[in-house]
Structure 1
């Protein structure tokens, strides 16, 4: 594998995603348990915490208490550099998220696969693009930042058309709305390292004012190769979840886990990155996972 000299490294932005870990968990996780776990994660000092979502409680019952969670976090009292991100799927959810000044980012899952977009947000890609326009205006009005996840960003299990032209087409449309953060999501773990590197190598030079991230799902044996490929492709924003827990419950029956945050931390340390995380708080958060995810 290509070695990357530490002197050429820029800052890595780790996005910890307990929301993605929790949302498909089979057993209900209490509000109090979520709050305790999130407060511990906030002590670690991740740049971004994808903590909850304002979506249909029928579709994702595990996230029905997100408003209560953010209220009980007592975020303002915590001395943390972490900024909160909440996922929304429509304008109503975005309006609810905007009521909370503690939330800095709103994330919208925009699928390159028409089938999955309908399955995930009950709207076509064309309809969802109109939603993105409206949500972006809400974000501007309320001082929030919109993050667009291009889900099924490396192919899909539904036989919907996919190639680099499809990816580029939607990236261009999203960029045209003034979106400054786009994350390529390997929703069901289909991506190869070559696909990841090639996509980023094409997109990043085209849109120099946009931060491109990756939200990769992966089997353990493929994780390091995918991280390496994204890094070599120029990516510096990586989503993950402690112990690789989670996956998208709307995608397919067999969930492929999230990228393991602990694995990424070790990897980036070996590459010479200073992640500025609280190691003791991280250890405590790792210990908590066995009590949260039971």
Structure 2
């Protein structure tokens, strides 16, 4: 098997994990969640996003989150448009995440622009950000399937990714937004991207809608990918993608990798403490496999 010695996990729970949460999570709870995740050894994290509070009210406290949670680790703030980018540039954060959907329909429903229109807006912004010393991460949504258009052509994914690489982005996070990819899909797409775009950091982002996320991650390991997005507790879901449930759970990924002898630098026990801390504030139960097993053992030990 072609397995790396070390993998980097980018924690997306505080942003992607909470953005679609129906309960309004208190700012103090978010800050505590973020700091607990950092204590577990997370070195890269999506903190929050500058989006319209009308459309994503959960992110209305973005400025306060940034003010309290920036440190020496790599902290990303998501910005969907020029206005969001300008707001990030007013902070001390120097790591920004942009996003665009391969699917025209998804992109239109998400940010009311076609994919081409998004490109035309983002490419000059990327060049400006790079001139100002930013690390730029671009999230590529609906890279496998679209809830409106069906299966996405890998060539379209490659063409879009190439545009961003040529504009100077540092990282591409390529997403199975609605959790329909299978291991063969994952291996083939990421093998193609690794071959054609060797100069960029390549990250895989899987939702566990159909229970395939860990298998897809394993397939990506075989393709040479060593960076993965994940969400503590498996929190998440996209408000613009019907049927998209939570991201793959960080604790499940860490457990699988550690069992295979792959280092992550993350402490599982402390990670579970972070999940415990946010659990009471979210509306849905924590369903990650490792968390449920740990809770069962804890109950047995207290009998």
TM normalised by structure 2 equals 0.88
Cα pair distance change 1:157/1:38, threshold 3 Å: same
Match of 1:84 in 2: 75
Of the three residues 196, 207, 219, the one matched with 2:197 is 207
Contact 2:137 2:173 in 1 (8 A): yes
Match of 1:15 in 2: 10
Trace 1:227-242 onto structure 2 (pairs within 5 A): 227-242=217-232
Q: Distance in 2 between matches of 1:119 and 1:146?
A: 24
Trace 1:155-174 onto structure 2 (pairs within 5 A): 155-159=145-149, 162-174=152-164
Q: Residue 257 of structure 1: CA displacement?
A: 1.3
Q: Residue 219 of structure 1: CA displacement?
A: 3.3
Structure 1 vs Structure 2 CA RMSD: 1.7
Contact 2:5 2:263 in 1 (8 A): no
Q: Distance in 2 between matches of 1:220 and 1:170?
A: 26
Cα pair distance change 1:161/1:273, threshold 3 Å: closer
Q: Distance in 2 between matches of 1:179 and 1:114?
A: 21
Q: Residue 215 of structure 1: CA displacement?
A: 1.0
Of the three residues 32, 37, 41, the one matched with 2:37 is 41
* Correspondence 1:287 to 2:264: no
Q: Distance in 2 between matches of 1:22 and 1:235?
A: 26
Q: Residue 160 of structure 1: CA displacement?
A: 6.1
Match of 1:56 in 2: 52
Q: Distance in 1 between matches of 2:222 and 2:209?
A: 20
Q: Distance in 2 between matches of 1:143 and 1:271?
A: 37
Q: Distance in 2 between matches of 1:259 and 1:289?
A: 17
* Correspondence 1:119 to 2:114: no
Deviations 1:171-198 (A, max 9, x none): 2211111222111111111111111110
The aligned length equals: 282
Deviations 1:180-239 (A, max 9, x none): 211111111111111111001111022211111111101363232111111111111100
Tell which deviates more after alignment, 159-168 or 58-67.
159-168
Q: Distance in 2 between matches of 1:271 and 1:283?
A: 20
Trace 1:132-171 onto structure 2 (pairs within 5 A): 132-159=122-149, 162-171=152-161
Unaligned runs of 5+ in 1: none
Q: Distance in 2 between matches of 1:44 and 1:138?
A: 34
Q: Residue 14 of structure 1: CA displacement?
A: 0.3
Tell which deviates more after alignment, 134-143 or 261-270.
134-143
Contact 1:91 1:134 in 2 (8 A): no
Match of 1:131 in 2: 121
Of the three residues 57, 61, 65, the one matched with 1:65 is 61
